[in-house]
Amino acid sequence: MKWTFVLAMAIALAGFASASQAATPGLDQSGKPDLKSAGPIAFGPDGVLFVADPAGAAVFAIEVPKAKPVEGKAGEFKVAGVDAKVASLLGTTAGDILINDLAVQPGSSVAYLSVSRGKGPAGTPALVTVDSQGAVALVGLDKVNYAKVALSNAPEADAKDKRGNSLRNESITDLAYIDGRVLVAGLSNEEFASKLRAFRFPFGKEEDDTSIEIYHGAHGAFETRAPVRTFVPLIVAGEPQILAAYTCTPLVRFPLSDLKPGAKVRGTTIAELGNRNRPLDIVSYEKDGKTYLLIANSARGVMKVTTETIADQKGITEKVADKAGLAYETLEALKGVEHLDKLSPTQALLLVRTGDAVGLESIQLP
């Protein structure tokens, strides 16, 4: 009886202690993050939102308000003119903003957009939420718990930091959280280099971070540097893998375990998406016990790719006719999709541009 009482007290004290705990694990700063731009975004553990800041050459982990949890199906989205709404919220017109990325808060019906208010170099970053009713709200960043990690320049460029640094810049094409690490894909605006960085989260010392060059091996065995334009983490046969789309189009995979300092990473080509394809965004999902990829593709609509044979894929090393590797089908009706994310186990959320209008709409995962 006595022990039960002690245990109850201990639990109560622990509950009290955690209620008064300020930060989510890994968020060691409090205040206003010095965000210079808001580029690709992705959710991590415990509702932390990772925000890539290419202008500031940094990645932030920001605590965002917990949303009402949604069980199963989320609300249907059909928000027309989402750019006009976001612009109105930011006190300007739709022609004055850029919507950079979309991420749905897991388990909720809340979509996050990373936005630039102003299209020039002096544009102000903003994070905005949109719900299925079309209500938009600004994510307050004046006093939040957050963490920040700097993206160091290539070791070679560091030496030349004083000269020419203002011109050389790295764009961040994508980021994702997997297996305790934040992966960031970048592309320089000068040398042709593909940089994939892996940071431990909670962010630690620089030695924990890895910066890797990614290569592509084409048919005829020519090997080149291969910038990654979008990627998605995926567990294949129990092992974490990265599925990436290169700027030269193949869809490749490589194991997360390959990302070690000094390693030479060469993706195994698992699908040739064909020419005139510009893969913009990829998500993975489960349906009827199988895993699929949904790829937003500016030229060809949205593609649904099977992943059943990924583990077996030896890689495409020979010339092939149009469709090769993993089987895929194209949902041609879904044109103009610029960003997508999973909304619920059965739905995806798409940011679609048709002409001048930008809308946020949900679809059943195909």
Partner 1 sequence: MSRVLSAWLCALAVLVSPALGQTIDFQPAEQDKAAYFSLSDLSPEQIARLAKLPAGDPAWAREFAVYVLDTTLVEQEDRSKTPAMAGDYALHKNQLRFTPKFPLRPGLTYQAVFQEKGKPARTIEVALSKPPAAEKARVTQIYPTADVLPENQLRFYLHFSAPMSRGEAYDHLRIIDEANQAAELPILELGEELWDKSGTRLTILIDPGRIKRGVKPREDIGTVFKAGHKYTLAIAKEWHDAAGEPLAEGFRKQFRIVPPVGDAIEPAEWKIAAPKIGTNDPLVVTFPRPLDHALLERTLSVANAGGKELAGKVKVPTGEERWEFRPAQPWPSGKLELVVDPTLEDLAGNRIGRPFEVLGGDKPVGGLLKPHRMPLTLKQ
- Which residues in the 15-44 window bind partner 1 by CB under 8 A? 39
Closest separation in Å from C-beta 296 to partner 1 = 11
Is the CB of 264 or the CB of 290 nearer to partner 1? 264
Please say which residue, 358 or 365, places its beta carbon nearer to partner 1. 358
For residue 92, what are the CA distances in angstroms to 79, 96, 114, 117, 118?
19, 7, 16, 8, 9
Burial class (CB in 10 A: 0-12, 13-18, 19+), 188: middle
Q: Which amino acid is at 143?
A: K
Nearer to partner 1, 4 or 275 (CB): 275
Stretch that binds partner 1, among 70-78, 191-199, 285-293, 300-308 (CB under 8 A): 191-199
Q: Which residues pair with 294 in a beta bridge?
A: 283, 304
Instruction: Write down the least CB distance from residue 189 to partner 1, Å.
Output: 4
- Of 29, 96, 107, 336, the residue at the interface with partner 1 (CB under 8 A) is 96
Q: Based on CB atoms, which residue is closest to partner 1, 275 or 354? A: 275
**What is the layout of strands, in order, in the sheet containing 181-188?**
170-178, 181-188, 194-200, 210-217, 264-266
Tokens (6 digits) for 112: 């996050």
Under the criterion CB under 8 A, does residue 67 sit at the interface with partner 1? no
Query: Shortest Cβ distance from residue 265 to partner 1 (Å)?
Result: 10
Q: Which value, to the nearest 10 degrees, does the dihedral of the CA atoms of residues 353, 359, 363, 366 take?
A: 10
Which of 171, 284, 306, 346 contacts partner 1 by CB under 8 A?
171
What would the two tokens of residue 312 be? Answer: 């077996």
200-239 residues in contact with partner 1 (CB under 8 A) are 213, 215-224, 226-227, 229
Instruction: Please say which residue, 120 or 289, places its beta carbon nearer to partner 1.
Output: 120
How remote is the C-alpha of 352 from its chain's centroid? 17
Decide if residue 354 touches partner 1 (CB under 8 A).
no
For the segment 281-340, give every residue that binds partner 1 (CB under 8 A): 298-299, 319-320, 322, 338
When binding is defined by CB under 8 A, the residue of 26, 33, 44, 250 that contacts partner 1 is 250
Task: Pick the closest to residue 130 from 92, 64, 79 (CA basis).
Answer: 79
CB 291 within 8 A of CB 234: yes
Nearer to partner 1 (CB atom), residue 81 or residue 240: 81
Nearer to partner 1 among residue 123 and residue 233 (C-beta): 123
Distance CA 234, CA 346 (A): 18
Peptide bond preceding 33: is omega within 30 degrees of 0, i.e. cis? no
Sketch the per residue contact string, 129 through 168, with partner 1: x for CB under 8 A, - otherwise.
-----xxxxx-x-------------x-xx-xx--xx-xxx
Task: Write the CB contacts of 120 (distance below 8 Å, at least 6 apart in sequence).
Answer: none
Q: How far is the CB of 5 from partner 1 (least distance, A)?
A: 38
Q: Which amino acid is at 95?
A: G
Residue (20 or 133) nearer to partner 1, CB:
133
The nearer residue to partner 1, 45 or 134, going by C-beta atoms, is: 134
**Which structure tokens are listed for 273?**
């998406």
In the list 29, 47, 67, 124, the residue contacting partner 1 (rule: CB under 8 A) is 124
**Stretch 257-286 residues interacting with partner 1 (CB under 8 A):** 264, 266, 272-276, 278, 280
Q: Report how far residue 147's alpha carbon sits from residue 133's, in angstroms, rounded to the nearest whole number.
A: 31
Distance separating the N- and C-terminal Cα atoms of the chain: 56
- Tell which one of 210, 247, 291, 306 touches partner 1 (CB under 8 A): 247
Determine if 100 is a binding residue for partner 1 (CB under 8 A).
yes
